[in-house]
Amino acid sequence: MDYKLNHLSNVEKELEITFSAQEVKENIQGTLSHLSRTASIKGFRKGKVPLNVVKQMYGKGIKDEAENHFVSTGIQETAVKENLKFATAPDIFEKSAVAEGEPFIFKYRVEVFPSVNVEVKPFEAEYTPLKFKDEMVDQEIEEIRKRFVEFKESEDVPSAEKDRMTITFSGKIGEEEIEGTKGNNVTVVLGEKRFIPDFEKALYGHKTGDSFSADVTFPQDYQQKELAGKTVTFSIAIDKVEKCENEPELTDEFLAGKEGYPDTVEALREEMKKHILEYIENLNLDNKKYIAIDTYVKNHDIDVPPSILKSEVEARVDEQKKRNKVEEIAEDALKKIEEDAKWVAKRYIILHELSEKLGITVTERDINDALSKEAANYGLPAEYAEQLRKYYGEERLNAKKMEIREGKVLEKITEAMIFIEKNTEEKKDEGQNS
């Protein structure tokens, strides 16, 4: 077998593979000889069938089998010899006929994962950790207290501070419906300031069944850039108004005997503090991992196979269209999707390359531990892990293995990082003093 490799790009290859006339002859003659010994043909004793008879009866099948053999062998051997890591299935775009006395030639194109010179290194990166504050406990305690607030539905009394409302709304600028400004059966407690000021202000003084419009101006620093500083006209329907009837204080006496809660406020605060500290620790670690892989992505120039990028973009576009119930995606949103898709693809390539270089493996224990943790997240005992394994099936289980392997690589590169901690509070103070 001979072959020629044409580098269309760093991630696109074209190969021409040639099996000589002698190789074709040997393959066909070998198959004919085998069939003459094993085939059962009426009128001939087994093992005594003439080659010309076998050729006449099985000729096309023999050639098809030879072609399949040459194609699969050619692709496999060239992939090994050239260390090609296929990102897509090979596209055979040209091939000759299989005929004795003639060489068999075929060509295929394929997208491959690029060869990336990546190693675990002590990259430096700025890092802003979330730090524990006593106010966090206060906020959690307040959220728990709110769970015990009693509401009574009212149809006749206008909504006021501390009342709970269920609303449906949608926003427009002119005649254009605005993405991200719709909500159905949304619960609002007046005074909690979970909505932008103009919107919440418009909800006061309304009864169950009311429908009205309100112009709402979004803050200049609003997180959705396309809405920042814009005035949106909302159509709002009040589905239900519930008056605040009883607002208890959290005391030791109130907590005593409450199922699922400690008997004292102090014990409750300690429990909340413990949960918050665990949450902060996990969040900071996840943040470090993201910074680590983002640093690697930014420090390595990687070509992404076009089909991989296209597939990722199309999936994200379809998801956003369905989520926002739109036919088209805005140009700036599409650009962001493409950037995110490219980042995800580069992340995968880097983690895959490092996992091979580091010899990262996934054991059965790793899988069992991951499934047990997942079961626990659902509030299920560890023995449900085996049921999850059966439920997942082979495809999802392979995805879980890849997730575990990537997680191990992320731990390695995160441990090697040099994080330079930023103190945002100090910077804030400096800015105020200047």
Kindly report, residue by residue over 299-313, the tens digit of the pLDDT.
999 999 999 899 989
DSSP string, 176-243: EEPTT--EEEEEEETTS--S-HHHHHHTTT--TT-EEEEEEEPPTT-SSTTTTT-EEEEEEEEEEEEE
Domain limits, CATH 3.10.50.40, in the chain: 149-247
Cα separations (Å) of 335 from 89, 126, 175, 228?
A: 28, 26, 25, 19
Pick the range with the lowest mean pLDDT from 16-25, 73-82, 373-382, 400-409: 373-382
pLDDT tops 90 at residue 416: yes
CA–CA dist 434, 430 (Å, integer): 6
pLDDT bracket for residue 42 (50, 70, 90): low
Percent pLDDT > 70 in the chain is 91
Q: What is the mean pLDDT of residues 169-186?
A: 88
- What pLDDT score does 50 carry? 65
Spell 81-114 as b/e; 16+ CB within 10 A means b: eeebeebbebeeeeeeebeeeeebbbbbbbbbbb
User: Is-contact 30 17, C-beta < 8 A?
Assistant: no
Domain limits, CATH 3.30.70.1050, in the chain: 2-111
Cα angle 355, 359, 365; round to 5: 90
pLDDT tops 80 at residue 199: yes
Q: What is the mean pLDDT of residues 179-207?
A: 91
Token duo for residue 407: 């997680």
CA–CA dist 115, 122 (Å, integer): 21
pLDDT bracket for residue 430 (50, 70, 90): very low
- What pLDDT score does 225 carry? 78
- What pLDDT score does 361 carry? 92
For the 265-433 domain, the top CATH level (class) is mainly alpha
User: Is-contact 190 159, C-beta < 8 A?
Assistant: yes
- 149-247 CATH: 3.10.50.40
CA–CA dist 199, 114 (Å, integer): 51
Q: What is the mean pLDDT of the chain?
A: 88
CATH number for the 2-111 domain, one of 1.10.10.60, 3.10.20.30, 3.30.70.1050, 1.10.150.120?
3.30.70.1050
- What pLDDT score does 291 carry? 96
pLDDT tops 60 at residue 419: yes
- What pLDDT score does 43 carry? 58
CA–CA dist 358, 373 (Å, integer): 25
- What pLDDT score does 432 carry? 44
- What pLDDT score does 293 carry? 96
- What pLDDT score does 57 carry? 59
pLDDT tops 70 at residue 110: yes
pLDDT tens for residues 330-371? 788 889 999 999 999 999 999 999 999 999 999 989 988 888
Domain limits, CATH 1.10.3120.10, in the chain: 265-433
Percent pLDDT > 90 in the chain is 59
pLDDT tens for residues 49-89? 666 666 665 667 778 888 999 999 999 999 999 999 999 99
